[in-house]
Amino acid sequence: MSKKVILDTDPGIDDTMAILFAHASKRIDLIGITTVFGNATIENATRNALFVKHRFGLSADVSVGSDTPLVLEAGEPTTFVHGDNGLGNIIIPDEYYGEVDVLRAEDFIIDRIKKFPGEITLIAVGRLTNLARALDKAPEIAGLVKEVVIMGGAFGHHNHCGNVTPFAEANFIGDPQAADKVITANWPTTIVGLDVTHQTVMSSRYIDHLRSRSERYGKFIYDITQFYTDFHRREAGIDGFYVHDSSAIAYAISPELFTTIKGKIRVVTEGPAIGHTMIKKDDRRYPIDEWSDYPAQRVCVDVDSAGLLELYASTLAAG
Ligand code: BDR
Ligand code: CA
């Protein structure tokens, strides 16, 4: 049985790798892609989603989402990580790549969750603005979704605490109010944060190998990741790159690759620690306790990295 998935994303190099992973997996029925600003402007992120859909024959609908956070001012897209066009500056021919859905992202999410009650897995690998807007408009969707999987945040496991500030991860600091709203909502959520995404690296050897192993996707992935690999070499001093967004897809396909803990989570929305995620694991009610009234959610703290890398490569090779 495949899972019906809506992927909320800001493509983005690793986002695009995640889109292709979801598309190639027989365990996932990718019914929609909703776009959000972040790695690229909303125009480029949406164009990239349509380009990938067109090039690889995806049947998922593409819907346009938010271009600003809920409260903060929109910052600049992270082109220094993903290239000016969001896809590592590969040449994207200037042509027609098809239409976006008539519904905007938050309405698309609401519509599909209501159409398939209890069936939709919502995977979010960008800022959580679209999901927060959907919850604002139709809070009842929280009880109708099957599960929510989020790439974002960092809880300090394996010493991974942040990638934008010492204590904040990019997707959460990009819209902390949205992240806090989505994580405290009463829907079953799993966070795939830096705790595990920084534990898995796709080395240049791995990407070279994937180029020949996956006839359909390998060369394209090789091309878009050269920019990303350079960024990681310069900034993190590693050969290859961390596996962020595809780890969320891996969790949806094979949760047994991950170890999780449970607790109530909040996201800091102001001050020097803005974007920081904090989990309360005990059930004690403290004299002042802004965690107690919210549902416990799952956080991934360990991953079978070799298993994940093989799952990605074998899925792309067979897809
Ligand atoms: C997250 O930030 C973005 O650059 C990546 O696409 C990923 O979703 C990692 O912090
Ligand atoms: Ca992303």
Measured CA to CA in angstroms, residue 260 lies from 120, 255, 300 at distances of: 21, 9, 4
Would the CB of 78 count as within 6 Å of ligand 1?
Answer: yes
- Which atom of ligand 1 sits closest to the CA of residue 245? 8
In the chain, which residues have pLDDT < 70? none
Assess whether 244 carries a catalytic annotation: yes
**264-290 exposure pattern, b = at least 16 Cβ within 10 A, e = fewer:** bbbbbbeeebbbbbbbbeeeeeeeeee
pLDDT in tens, 98-152: 999 999 999 999 999 999 999 999 999 999 999 999 999 999 999 999 999 999 9
pLDDT at residue 319, as a whole number: 81
**What's the CA-to-centroid distance between 141 and ligand 1, angstroms?**
26
The mean pLDDT of the chain is 97
pLDDT at residue 61, as a whole number: 98
Pocket test for ligand 1, best of 21, 79, 129, 151 (most atoms within 8 A of CB): 151
pLDDT at residue 96, as a whole number: 80
The residue whose CA has the least distance to atom 4 of ligand 1 is: 39
pLDDT at residue 67, as a whole number: 97
Choosing from 23, 157, 198, 244, which is the catalytic residue? 244
Would the CB of 81 count as within 6 Å of ligand 1?
Answer: yes
Query: What's the pTM value of the predicted model, to 2 decimals?
Result: 0.98
Measured CA to CA in angstroms, residue 92 lies from 44, 46, 240 at distances of: 11, 13, 24
**185-214 exposure pattern, b = at least 16 Cβ within 10 A, e = fewer:** bebebbbbbbbbbbbbbbebebbeebbeeb
